Amino acid sequence: MNDKVYIHEFIDIIGQNRAKYMYHMTANWSPIGQEERGQLCYGVWGVVGSTARWPQVVNIWEHDGFDGLAASFRHEFTAASLQDPKLAVWWAQAASYRAGGFDRILVPAPWMRTIGEVIADGVSGEVHAHVQVQLRPGAAPDYLDGVRDREAELTKRFGWQLSGAWRTAMAGDAECILLWTIPTWQAWADAEKAISEEPDLGRVAAGVTGIHRFLMVDSPLSPFRIRRQPSRADRADAYEEG
């Protein structure tokens, strides 16, 4: 039973700073989040620009339910600046890499694996498919109930694993986010060819009003790649907290 809550972030990158930003989030920020907020890194990915907006990064963070998320928000927004004063240096450096973003809070399907379980199960792949599903209001729980049927077919035929399955909170149960971990680029291509040719495999569930599937690759220090949480030992620069 997954009782966590997640923050999902689309981050717009300035120029050629994507690698620097991903490093800053994993090596410099994630250890602080773990220690001070109980926040785990679920993943940090670079978006494949040919399939979505570019240059862009996706971050997903795991919290101990809404209570844990509330404690994290309290920690951040108590100061008059609405930023943790200890992170002034971190914020300034991050601002030089990114132009803004769009976040959402995600509630997992009860059967979805936590990041600890993902690591323990050895889930990894050359590429990930991020699926953003728009639904009629209230349809998200039913949509997630039906996702596992499609998971079995894609896993059996192409080796895709359903790593994440969430509904977006505070949005009228009108959106879901899926994360598929794909073993190889060819396994992605084979599935895409089949989806375009086989109506049953590519079927759209009742209640879906829009869907966008795009590709992402793990950052060098993403848990899907290093099989653990990023730590202070991963810092290769002279970064110091404010």
The confidence band for 236, taking pLDDT boundaries of 50, 70 and 90, is confident
* pLDDT cut 70: percent of the chain above it: 94
> Total domain count for the chain?
1
Do residues 53 and 30 lie in contact, with contact meaning Cβ atoms separated by under 8 Å? no
Q: Which two tokens stand for residue 175?
A: 């959106």
The Cα–Cα gap between 218 and 224 comes to: 7
In a domain, 241, yes or no: no
Q: What is the mean pLDDT of residues 22-42?
A: 95
Which tens digits make up the pLDDT trace of 187-224? 999 999 998 888 666 667 878 999 999 999 999 999 99
Domain CATH for 150: 3.30.70.100
Contacts of 11 (CB under 8 A, 6+ apart): 21, 56, 57, 58, 59, 98, 100, 101
Residue 223's H or E segment, with its range, is helix 223-226
In a domain, 240, yes or no: no
Which tens digits make up the pLDDT trace of 146-167? 888 778 888 899 999 999 999 9
Q: Which two tokens stand for residue 219?
A: 């950052």
Among the residues of 8-64, which ranges form H helices?
Answer: 18-23, 30-37
The Cα–Cα gap between 180 and 22 comes to: 20
In a domain, 47, yes or no: yes
pLDDT of residue 81: 72
In a domain, 174, yes or no: yes
* pLDDT cut 90: percent of the chain above it: 78
In a domain, 84, yes or no: yes
pLDDT of residue 159: 95
The Cα–Cα gap between 187 and 35 comes to: 38
Do residues 227 and 122 lie in contact, with contact meaning Cβ atoms separated by under 8 Å? yes
In a domain, 242, yes or no: no
Judge residue 241's burial from the number of C-beta atoms within 10 Å of its C-beta, 0-12 exposed, 13-18 middle, 19 or more buried: exposed
Q: Which two tokens stand for residue 143?
A: 């949509």
Length of the chain: 242
Among the residues of 27-184, which ranges form H helices?
Answer: 30-37, 65-77, 88-95, 115-120, 140-158
1-10, 13-22, 71-80, 181-190: range with lowest mean pLDDT: 71-80
- Map tokens 């920690």 to a residue: 75
78-87, 161-170, 227-236: range with lowest mean pLDDT: 78-87
Average pLDDT, the chain: 92
Q: What is the mean pLDDT of residues 73-99?
A: 83
In a domain, 208, yes or no: yes
Peptide bond into 55 cis (omega under 30): yes
The confidence band for 64, taking pLDDT boundaries of 50, 70 and 90, is very high
- Map tokens 């202070």 to a residue: 232
In a domain, 238, yes or no: no
Q: Which long-range contacts (CB under 8 A, 24 or more apart) does 149-152 make?
A: 150/201
The Cα–Cα gap between 229 and 217 comes to: 17
Domain around 211 = 5-228
